[in-house]
Amino acid sequence: MDRLDNTVRPYAWGSTTAIPRLLGTEPTGEPQAEMWMGAHPGAPSRTARGTLVEVIDADPEKELGAPAVARFGPRLPFLLKLLAAGAPLSLQVHPDLDQAREGYADEERRGVPVTAPHRNYKDANHKPELVCALTEFDGLCGFRDPVRAAGLLDGLGVDSLKPYVDLLHARPEDAALREVLTAVLTADPEEMARTVAETAAACDRLGGDYAPYAGIAHHYPGDPGVIAAMLLNHVRLQPGEALFLGAGVPHAYLDGLAVEIMANSDNVLRCGLTPKHVDVPELLRIVRFESRDAGILRPEAAPDGEEVYETPTDEFRLSRYVLPEGGATHDLTLDTAQILLCTAGGVRAGGHDLTPGTSVFVPAGEKAEVTGAGTLFRATVVV
């Protein structure tokens, strides 16, 4: 069992206090957005045996387990994170596996450098993800019913939004959502900036259901993503609640601290709330234009006190243990690799004492007994 030394990414949208508060360290004054736990080549976790990439590469079957290597190849198929949003992340979608393979092959064929700012596909993998709140956590997830979205826009009293309101009422659902998102993202930038300014002022004045969009507009003045965001469901997760984001579902995280797990991919198509490249034609190919509710997940009880967040993907499986004072020892041994992350209290895993924000990598088949009083998240795969 290897204690992990993990990299914290200083993205501009990150909270300056949430991760230091969890770790019990002093804030640096700089944003601390994500702590990465895993074997992503961009920031692999470090162990006493080398980086986790080096450890796995030396003997994939021993570290990951033969069933996992047969199913997913000689790599850890998931990336676990602590995510601390102090400002909204970009509005985005992820491709499915076929779309990712096609898009990656196309950009490789056209010679688009992987580091190019207009490159969409950094790899040939999909990126389903699950985010589980540790604090109250605000986000946007999936399209609202078009009629409800029309009512929200109409209630602002902004004349330049009227064409979008009419489209949302007049078309079948998929066509309505497609036409409005296309119109918002391809509008004249100066005209859209004025519309966003008027929208932001109205959201500030009205508050209530409009308050989240006022906050978004404050961070991204003039960005068409502010209007696109109003087509989506706003959701506030309570600690322990989660969202699963499948392919083609537009989403953004707004504020709060969470555990996030995803397939090991960097593929993102952006819809707005970002200075980065927005490839509108490719985005429209990927987005699923269908309304849905936000789909809040709560953990389901499993044997031995485990609580599982059920999702339709096999690249990762996230669960948690809430261990009481004086409770029994739990044997977490598996025939697949796992990462254990403490988020509250104190837990002893093998020979390691885990405090909030600390984690270990457990190779396949390695004895994994845990005791203590605290909350422990477990990340592994389904084979």
Give the residue numbers annotated as catalytic, written as ranges: 270
Q: Are strands 251-263 and 137-143 parallel, antiparallel or unpaired?
A: antiparallel
CA nearest neighbour of 347 among 365, 325, 362:
325
Q: 159: which DSSP letter?
A: G
Q: Beta-carbon neighbour count of residue 152 at 10 Å?
A: 18
CA dihedral for 268, 120, 264, 66, sign (positive or negative): positive
Tell the burial category of 172 from Cβ atoms under 10 Å away from its Cβ (0-12, 13-18, 19+).
exposed
Can you say whether residue 90 is alpha, beta or left, with left for phi > 0 and alpha for psi between -120 and 50 degrees?
beta
Q: Are strands 317-323 and 330-331 parallel, antiparallel or unpaired?
A: unpaired
DSSP 177-224: HHHHHHHHHHS-HHHHHHHHHHHHHHHHHH-GGGHHHHHHHHHSTT-T
Say which residue the tokens 């004249």 belong to: 188
Q: How far apart are CA 209 and CA 281, in angstroms?
A: 31
Token representation of residue 83: 């995510």
Torsion (CA) 221, 225, 228, 232 in degrees, nearest 10: -100
Q: How far apart are CA 280 and CA 98, in angstroms?
A: 19
CA nearest neighbour of 132 among 32, 243, 236:
243
